[in-house]
Amino acid sequence: MEIISSDFKKGTVKLKINDPEDLWYLSHLIDPEDQLKGKTTRKIKIGDGDNAKVVRKTLTLKIKSESIDFTDADCLKVNGKITESPEDIPHGSYHSISLHVGDQLILEKVKWLKYQKQKLKEASEKKYTFIICIIDREEAIFALTKKSGNEIILRLKGDVPKKAKEVTIKKDFHQEIIASLQSYFERYNPEKVILASPAFYKDDLYKKISSADLKKRMVLAACSDVSKSSLDEVMRSPELHKILENSRVRTEQIVVEELLSEIKKNNLAGYGFDDVKKAVFAGAVSKLLITDDFIQQKRADEEYDELDQLMKQVDSAQGEIFIISSKHESGKKLDGLGGVGVILRYKLEW
C-alpha cells in the first residue's frame, strides 16, 4: 500500500492499493463512522418519461462508513451514507464504494489510534515475501509467506520407487521440484527461499541445484513432515529467527505462543471476551490479541462498537494490539480460545 499523503492532525490519509493484501489491511483499518472518499459508479437517470435512460456514471463520492463486506478477496466493499457528492446526487442516501488493486482513496478518522498507525505503516513497508518448500522422498509443498498468513501455491507428488515394490520412475522428482522453485523464484523475487525436510532430503536436493542466484538466497531447515502444520514449524525454527524477524506470520506465532504459555502457567493471561473486558477495565492489559474472524463476527452481530471501545482503551493505556489472521495456525489456536485473549501487566483474580 502506498501512502500518498497523510495528516494525522486532521485525521486524513490518502492511499493507493497496490496489492490484494492491502485490502485485508483496510478491512481492519476502516471503522464505522470513518469517512471514505473514492471513485465509484452509480446509476443515473437521464431524461423523463418514455425517453428516460439509466446509465452508469463514474463519480467521486465521500461516504460515512457503516459496514464492510470482504467476502471477495479481490474486492473490499464499504457501505454507508453519502456525505459529499456532485449536485445531482442527494446527501444522506446510501451507496457503496468498492475498492480494488490500483484504486486510490482518502480515509478520514476522528482519531488514528497507535495500533492503526502501526498497521498502516506495516502495510506500506516492503513486503518480506519468503518461499517455503518442504520436501521428503515423494512429496513437496510450496508456500508463500504473506502478511495475512501462509499461502500454499503448489503440492507435488513424485512417482518414485516404494519399499517392497517395483515402480518405474516416469519423472525425475528432484528436477521437477527444482524447476518449480526456479519458476517461483523468478516470479516472486523473494527475500529468501527456505528449503526444509525431515532427514537428509533437503541436502540431496540442494546439491542438484545449478542456479547460483537461487542458491545464494536459499536457507536449509528441518521439519517433522510434509504438511501444512510443518509450515508453522519451519517459521518457528530457531535457526531462521534472524531471517524471518520481519515476517508478520512469525510475529503472530510468537505472541500467540506467549499467550498460550501464560495460560498454561495460570499466570499473566486471560481469554474469552468476558475475561478480556475485565482485564481492559482494570487497566491490566499489556497485549491484546484478536483474530480477524472475531472482528468480522462482531461486525456481523452489530456488536463491534463494544470491541472498538476496548481497543481504544488498550491503545490509550499504551498496550499493544495484535490482529491475528485466522487463516493460519496461530489464528486457529486463538479462535479455539474464543478469538480474543490478553497478556497482562500483572496477575488478576478472575
pLDDT for residue 169: 40
Determine the Cα–Cα distance for residues 27 and 328; give it in Å rounded to an integer: 18
Report helix angle 228-235 to 248-264, nearest 10.
90
Q: What does the pLDDT read at residue 300?
A: 84
For residue 346, the tally of other CB atoms under 10 A from its CB is 9
Cα radius of gyration rounded to whole Å, the chain:
24
Select from 40, 93, 41, 98 the least CA-distant residue to 68: 98
DSSP tag of 129: -
DSSP strand pairing (53-72 vs 75-84): antiparallel
Rounded-to-integer distance, Cα 179 and Cα 133, Å = 12
Positions in the chain whose pLDDT score sits under 70: 47, 49, 126-128, 147-149, 159-171, 239, 244-247, 350
* pLDDT value at residue 153: 92
pLDDT of residue 328: 76
Give dist(CA 58, CA 324) in Å, integer: 36
Model pLDDT, residue 200: 93
Grid cell locating 137: 522422498
- Give the global pTM: 0.68
Looking at residue 101, what is its pLDDT?
Answer: 93
> Cα separation of 348 and 336, whole Å?
22
Q: What is the H or E stretch that residue 324 is in?
A: strand 320-324
**pLDDT value of position 168:** 40
Cβ-proximal residues to 325 (8 Å cutoff; 6+ apart), any chain: 24, 148, 149, 249, 252, 291, 292, 331
Which one is the CATH code of 2-113: 2.50.20.10, 1.10.3720.10, 3.40.50.150, 2.30.30.870?
Answer: 2.30.30.870
Give me the CATH topology for the region 249-344: 60s Ribosomal Protein L30; Chain: A; (3.30.1330)
Domain with CATH 3.30.1330.30 in the chain: 249-344
pLDDT at 165: 43
- pLDDT tens-digit profile of 311-341? 999 999 999 999 988 877 889 999 999 999 9
Superfamily per CATH, domain 130-240: eRF1 domain 2 (3.30.420.60)
